[in-house]
Each structure stands twice: as structure tokens, then as C-alpha cells.
């Protein structure tokens, strides 16, 4: 996919997700500041093809606009998009029509890093 097409699609995801998270800000208040795991389910219409989930990207690929929305100034669910706050998994590929995003709380605060002076 051409980088301009990919960039435009990511911008749409980021805008839509940030708006949705802001609409539901009160519901997210209990998990604000917690570590999160992001998992995305990608639908396919045909079962007759073999697909490798790792080809569809993780944090740097498919999940990046989702992570950016979680850390955007508007939503602010997590303060930073580093691995201390957000973990991604391989996409789940399934037969269907809707993209599914699952956010799971995996801890109460940032992952402690003994090499980080902060």
C-alpha cells in the first residue's frame, strides 16, 4: 500500500477513535493511568485462504492509530505510548465483517524499568 493511502487511513482511525474515547470519557475514568493491552480482530470474508497474523502488523502497524488515540490530548487514557504503558499483541484474524478492538487492563501503573531514572 502506498504510504499516502496508509497515512490517510491511519488519520481516519485516529480521528474516529479519539472522538469515540472522548464521548465515553466518564466510562474510561477508572482505567485512566493503568497499563493496557491492545488487541485487534481483523475480519475476512473468505476462509479458503491461509493468512499469517504477523503480516498484518502489531504496535508499529495495525494498532498504532489505536495507541495514538489512547494517548492523544483529547482522550488521555494513558500518558505515553511506550511499552511501559501499552502492550500490543498479534492481530486475531477471523471470518466476519467488523473490526474489533479489545483493550484489557494489565496493571495499575507503568511497568517498572530499573534503567529508567524517572
> Helix, strand or coil for residue 39?
strand
- What's the average model confidence in pLDDT over 38-63? 76
What integer is the mean pLDDT of 46-61? 71
Query: d(Cα 15, Cα 108) in Å, to the nearest integer?
Result: 27
Per domain, the residue ranges of the chain are 3-107
For the entire predicted model, the pTM comes to 0.74
66 burial (CB, 10 Å; 0-12 / 13-18 / 19+) is: buried
54, pLDDT greater than 80: no
How many CB atoms are closer than 10 A to CB 111? 14
pLDDT value of position 41: 87
Q: Is the model's pLDDT at 60 over the cut of 70?
A: no
| Mean of all residue pLDDT scores within the chain | 80
Amino acid at each position: 500500500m502506498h504510504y499516502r493511502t496508509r497515512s490517510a487511513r491511519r488519520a481516519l482511525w485516529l480521528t474516529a477513535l479519539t472522538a469515540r474515547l472522548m464521548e465515553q470519557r466518564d466510562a474510561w475514568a477508572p482505567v485512566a493511568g493503568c497499563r493496557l493491552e491492545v488487541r485487534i480482530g481483523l475480519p475476512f470474508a473468505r476462509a479458503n485462504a491461509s493468512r499469517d497474523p504477523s503480516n498484518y502488523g502489531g504496535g508499529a502497524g495495525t494498532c498504532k492509530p489505536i495507541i495514538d488515540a489512547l494517548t492523544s490530548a483529547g482522550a488521555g487514557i494513558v500518558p505515553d505510548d511506550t511499552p511501559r504503558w501499552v502492550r500490543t499483541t498479534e492481530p486475531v484474524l477471523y471470518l466476519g465483517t467488523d473490526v474489533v478492538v479489545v483493550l484489557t487492563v494489565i496493571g495499575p501503573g507503568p511497568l517498572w524499568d530499573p534503567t529508567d531514572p524517572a
